[in-house]
């Protein structure tokens, strides 16, 4: 099932006409090429980060395109931006979660139990940590306990070797591995297969990532 290259809004009375260009396939094409490099075991300092960033960008652009398409269809050329901007201001995770509900006018909703949805949620969390990482003090117990007398520390005579190992948690970028990159790529492939392409073709249907609104 193919996606439309663009959506046309023609005005045959002489006024301006419009088109909505679907550039998402260019993102997916580059993502597929990078996926092959990851799967083949290509090694570089930036491959996993580059692939992960491309996954995030591809997903968000795809969601935003679907929301734009929906708003144009529902509210017309003159009013669609008013509604679209409200949807675009939602955070990444909520846009993903609410997408099937929005574009189906409440008929469908995201299947939150789907493995691909959970994997994309994990990707979004890691993306936020990676792009907005912060540094804070980390407390530790110093294995030295000197006595204090008259406001002064009493240092014992002699020499003593102090061995101490600091335990560091992995940074978000260190948590990017070949395995989870491949999982993220597969999950976004499922998003395209089960949500994006049907939505742009014949409409959403119940599948692995989509369920009816009243389904348990």
Stretch 31-44: mean pLDDT: 92
Query: Which residues are 147's β-sheet partners?
Result: 154
**Tens digits of per-residue pLDDT, 114-173?**
999 999 999 999 999 998 888 888 887 776 666 777 777 666 665 666 676 777 888 888
List the domain boundaries for the chain: 6-134+177-212
pLDDT, residue 43, reads: 78
pLDDT the model gives residue 146: 67
> Using CA atoms, how far apart are residues 98 and 91, in angstroms rounded to an integer?
11
Angle between helix 92-103 and helix 115-131 axes, rounded to 10 deg? 140
Average pLDDT over residues 57-69: 96
Of 123, 126, 129, give the one whose Cα is nearest residue 191.
123
Task: Provide CB contacts within 8 A for 146, sequence distance 6+.
Answer: 153, 154, 155, 156
When pLDDT is cut at 50, 70 and 90, the band that residue 18 belongs to is: confident
Q: Alpha helices of 22-114 — where are they, by DSSP H?
A: 24-39, 47-88, 92-103
First to last CA, the chain: 29
Report the mean per-residue pLDDT for the chain: 88
Q: Which residue did the predictor score with more confidence, 43 or 210? A: 210
pLDDT of res. 97: 97
For residue 16, pLDDT over 90 is answered with no
Rounded-to-integer distance, Cα 160 and Cα 173, Å: 38
Beta strand 108-110 pairing with 210-212 = antiparallel
What is the predicted pLDDT for the residue at 100? Answer: 97
């Amino acid at each position: 099932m193919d996606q439309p290259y663009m959506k046309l809004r023609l005005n045959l009375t002489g006024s301006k006409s419009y088109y909505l260009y679907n550039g998402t396939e260019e993102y997916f094409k580059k993502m597929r090429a990078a996926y092959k490099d990851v799967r083949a075991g290509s090694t570089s300092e930036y491959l996993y980060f580059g692939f992960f960033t491309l996954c995030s960008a591809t997903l968000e652009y795809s969601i935003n395109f679907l929301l734009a398409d929906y708003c144009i269809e529902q509210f017309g050329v003159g009013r669609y931006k008013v509604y679209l901007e409200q949807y675009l201001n939602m955070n990444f995770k909520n846009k993903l979660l609410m997408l099937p509900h929005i574009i189906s006018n409440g008929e469908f909703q995201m299947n939150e139990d789907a493995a691909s949805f959970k994997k994309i949620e994990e990707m979004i969390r890691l993306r936020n940590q990676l792009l907005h990482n912060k540094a804070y003090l980390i407390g530790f117990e110093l294995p030295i306990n000197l006595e204090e007398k008259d406001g002064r520390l009493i240092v014992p005579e002699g020499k003593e070797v102090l061995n101490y190992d600091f335990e560091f948690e992995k940074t978000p970028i260190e948590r990017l591995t070949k395995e989870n990159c491949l999982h993220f790529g597969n999950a976004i492939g499922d998003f395209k297969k089960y949500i994006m392409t049907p939505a742009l073709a014949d409409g959403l249907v119940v599948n692995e990532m989509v369920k009816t609104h009243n389904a348990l």
